[in-house]
Amino acid sequence: MSARGPRLRRAVGRAAIDLTPLKVSRPFRNVFAARTLSVFGLGFALVALPLQVYGLTGSSAMVALVNAVNGVSVLGGTLVAGVLADRRPRRGLIVTGRLAATVAFTGLALGALWLDGTAALAAIVLCAAVNGFLGTFSQVALQAAVPGLLPRDRLPAAGALLALTGKLGSVVAPAAGGALIALLGSPLVYGITAAASAVTTLMVARLPAMAPEPGAGAGADAAPSPLAAIAEGLRFAVRDRVVGPILLLGFVQLLFATPYVLIPELTDRVLGGGEQTAGLLYSASAAGAVAASLTSGWTAHLRRAGAVLLAAVALCGAAAAGLGASTALAAAVLALVALGFAEIIEEILRFALLQSHTPDALRGRVNSVWTAQNTVGGSLGGVVLGALAAAVGPGAAVLAGGAATAVLTAAIAGAFPGLRRAHPAGAGVPPPRTPPEPEKEKAA
């Protein structure tokens, strides 16, 4: 009986989220704190911007236009940031991104105070474009820099911590932002966000320079043009036996197993609920994601992280199919808890595998592809499921998307054995400070 206590404590300790990256690396602590503040600041702005635009114009089309401007800016900034992160010290790009956010939110605050009508709308579009383009620099450069701040075996733990802040920010920040706007008004909320961005700028300015390692793509002479540099990163991603399948797997999951856009219609037409029911469903996914983050310690001890990644994406598909087949609220809630859980496990392992299997000299461009995939893939997934729902109904559309995810994941597992065997610190991985030799890359 007495021996069970220590074993239970060890098991709990092994499962609990690993905080070691925060303990062993001061630069990572700065990155983590800055990311947490910036995520909450952006969450505030995601609520304030649409409300302000709609208040000025009374038009949902104008809200969509501002969102589109921001989306295009983010996509362009992502691709440019990937090239720069492989040519220049990454600290400078991170500082640039956070400084741009500070300027943009300050402009939004001043515009909300002093401008009206067309001038106010023009200021909003300009600030959204600046923040979308330059603000993305910090995200891409930060992802590329994290592996240089920690031992490779701590990458799953780092991924779990970053995923946790992202999920908490996406759930808590919009709700807090809405409450603050109602209480204080948009100008003050923008001012708070600008202040938070300024604090993060000072924090990341204390990071080491984090220059990319010499190799393919590093230095102005290695890649004569940005387009050539982007093409070089894409070639590596397509040819590599681990990175390429991971990106393909992520696209499948985003395209077919992200049913959140259909939750309002599922609530109304299938479950017969209202706003409270929809809120419960959204919260269920978030609860599953937070639970996965807080119990993610085991991900650092996997021998075949690639196989578990495949299983996690297959679980995303099964959970989405379960949601589509649900006619009772309890079943739908359980399906979404499972979906949120699986999404975070997939994100943790994908982060660790991508960073450890990508040479430092190409990490900026590969991370830019990942970021662009998340931006575009989620939007396309909403379009695909929305069109399918119009044809066959929301439940059948979500069920079909989940089934397609499971089938395509099995196909990817069979076609790419290198992914099944992949491990963040596995044998045969090119050293992170040296790009792969051309003949090895070709063979892969």
Q: How many CB atoms lie within 10 A of CB 221?
A: 6
What is the per-residue pLDDT across 324-372, written as a single tens digit (0 to 9) for each?
A: 999 999 999 999 999 999 999 998 999 889 988 988 888 888 888 888 8
Token pair in block for residue 80? 């440019």
**Interatomic CA distance for residues 182 and 206, integer angstroms:** 36
Question: Quick check: do 1-211 and 219-444 share a fold?
Answer: yes
The correct answer on CATH 3.40.50.970 for the domain covering 219-444 is: no
Label residue 210 left, alpha or beta by phi (over 0 means left) and psi (-120 to 50 means alpha).
Answer: left
Q: pTM for this structure?
A: 0.75
The correct answer on CATH 1.10.10.10 for the domain covering 1-211 is: no
- Closest by Cα among 257, 268, 428, 251 to 335: 257
Q: How long, in residues, is the chain?
A: 444
- Closest by Cα among 441, 401, 384 to 418: 441
What is the per-residue pLDDT across 383-418, written as a single tens digit (0 to 9) for each?
A: 888 888 889 999 999 999 999 999 999 999 999 999
Can you give the residue ranges of every domain in the chain?
1-211, 219-444
Amino acid at 231: A
Q: What φ, ψ does residue 272 adopt, rounded to 5°? A: 65, 35
Contact 75, 379 (CB under 8 A): no
**What is the secondary structure of 330-357 as a DSSP string?**
HHHHHHHHHHHHHHHHHHHHHHHHHHHT
Angle between helices 305-325 and 329-356 (to 10 degrees): 160
What is the per-residue pLDDT across 140-158, written as a single tens digit (0 to 9) for each?
A: 888 888 888 888 778 888 8
For the chain, first and last CA: distance in Å?
52
**Interatomic CA distance for residues 192 and 45, integer angstroms:** 10
* 266 DSSP 8-state letter: I
* 270 DSSP 8-state letter: I
